[in-house]
Amino acid sequence: MNLEQIVKNNLPNSQKGRVADYIPALGKVAPKQLGIVVYDLKKNNIEQAGDSRVRFAIESISKVITFLYAVNQLGMEYVTQHVGARQTGFPFNSILNLEIEGDHHPLNPFVNAGAIAVTSLVKATNSMQPFEQIIRFTRDICHDPQITLSTEISESEERTGDMDRSLAYYLKAKGMLKANVPLSLKTYFKQCSMMVTAADLANLGAVLANNGIKPWDNERLISSEAATYTKSLMMTTGLYNESGKYSAIIGVPTKSGVGGGLMTAVPNKYGIGIFSPPLDKSGNSIAGLSALNELSQKLKVDIFRY
């Protein structure tokens, strides 16, 4: 696999998108970047190219991690009683669908309402607050002890997070969120502000692809059932309201974040991490998706075909 060539082919696409700028800390990221990392489970090795070691905000990809952590802490049954797995064609921060359907829980863990609900489930332990637990788990599943919180970003998220507050209080009002709202949001804004690399995301994808066992040390971190369920969620709702389209075209379970990250898990084969900041209208990395598309074809990994 010539990853350098794929970087070269797709980096120009970054000019077609716009870096997220709803908070200053995201807006000042250099747009012309593309990093790709592929963790090959069979060879148990990593290939990388481009800006694969640049740190960026994990943003919505943290929704995958917190969901997995909540399942570890509380069990699949408990968590799925509090958040659904329903696909939606509405944008990630829509409040409409909740009111229209009169549902008893948020649609799925990857829309903001559902992600906040999941974060609110994580219980403080004697020694650790929820965010501490989440970041430790993130370092473990991403195989990177250097992942830290960007307080600049989390404070910016706090300042501009009114839509998330609106969603959280809506959930609270409807009995879909029992925990303290400001504390839950504080944890949520922090989890979005962890600084990761494309390599970290490839590792995360590799754990999911490997059915919950970390391929670098062969230790199980999450249940096979949780890994399977999560990959399905990534397929049906991982790329915001364009999930169905990209599933049809690219065909690999993927979660995106507005920091420019893409994290893919090809069952039993590859974990893939990609980073390129400029986004399309739906909030997905534009050069990242074109690179992933090329990669999916070269690796022959569309799960609906191979």
**Contact residues: a copy of itself, CB under 8 A:** 84-90, 94-97, 99-101, 107-108, 162-163, 165-170, 172-173, 181, 211, 224, 227-229, 231-233, 235-237, 241-245, 247-249, 251, 253, 267-268, 302-306
Q: Which of 28, 48, 21, 20 minimizes the C-alpha distance to 256?
A: 20
Catalytic residue check, 62: no
Q: What's at 131, amino acid-wise?
A: F
43 is catalytic: no
Q: Cα(190)–Cα(170) distance, rounded to whole angstroms?
A: 21
Q: Which residues are registered as beta bridge partners of 285?
A: 279
Name which of 73 and 97 has its Cβ closer to a copy of itself.
97
Non-local (6+) Cβ contacts of 108 within 8 A are 83, 84, 85, 86, 87, 88, 114, 233, 237
Residue 245 CB, nearest distance to a copy of itself (Å)?
5
Judged by beta carbon, residue 8 or residue 22, the one nearer a copy of itself is: 22
Cβ 195 to a copy of itself shortest distance, Å: 25
- Tell me which residue has tokens 């990209």: 246
Number of neighbours of residue 2 by Cβ within 10 angstroms: 11
240: annotated active-site residue: yes
The least CB distance from residue 224 to a copy of itself, in Å, is 7
Asked whether residue 170 is marked as a ligand-binding residue, the answer is: no
Which amino acid would we find at residue 58?
I
Question: Which one from 39, 69, 229, 240 is the annotated catalytic residue?
Answer: 240
- In angstroms, give the least distance from the CB of 143 to a copy of itself: 22
For residue 284, count CB atoms less than 10 angstroms from its CB and return exposed for 0-12, middle for 13-18, buried for 19 or more.
buried
Given the complex with a copy of itself, which of 50 and 251 has the nearer CB atom? 251
Question: 188 labelled as ligand-binding?
Answer: yes
Point out the catalytic residue in the list 38, 39, 52, 60: 60
For 107, residues 6+ apart whose C-beta sits below 8 A from its C-beta are 83, 84, 86, 87, 88, 97, 98, 113, 114
Our answer to whether residue 188 is catalytic in this structure is: yes
Task: Give Cα 92 distance to the centre of its chain.
Answer: 13
Catalytic residue among 14, 39, 52, 63: 63
Instruction: Judge whether 69 counts as a catalytic residue.
Output: no
Catalytic-labelled residue, pool 188, 229, 246, 270:
188
282, 283, 287, 292 alpha-carbon torsion, rounded to 10°: -80
Shortest Cβ 182–a copy of itself spacing (Å) = 10
Query: Closer CB to a copy of itself, residue 85 or residue 149?
Result: 85
**E-assigned strands of 58-208?**
148-149, 194-196
Q: With H, G, I as helix, E, B as strand and everything else as coil, classify residue 84.
A: coil
Q: Is 157 annotated as a binding residue?
A: yes
Compare residues 98 and 195 and give the one whose CB is closer to a copy of itself. 98
Q: Is 112 annotated as a binding residue?
A: yes
Known binding positions for substrate: 60, 112, 157, 188, 240, 258
Question: Hey, which residues are catalytic here?
Answer: 60, 63, 188, 240, 258
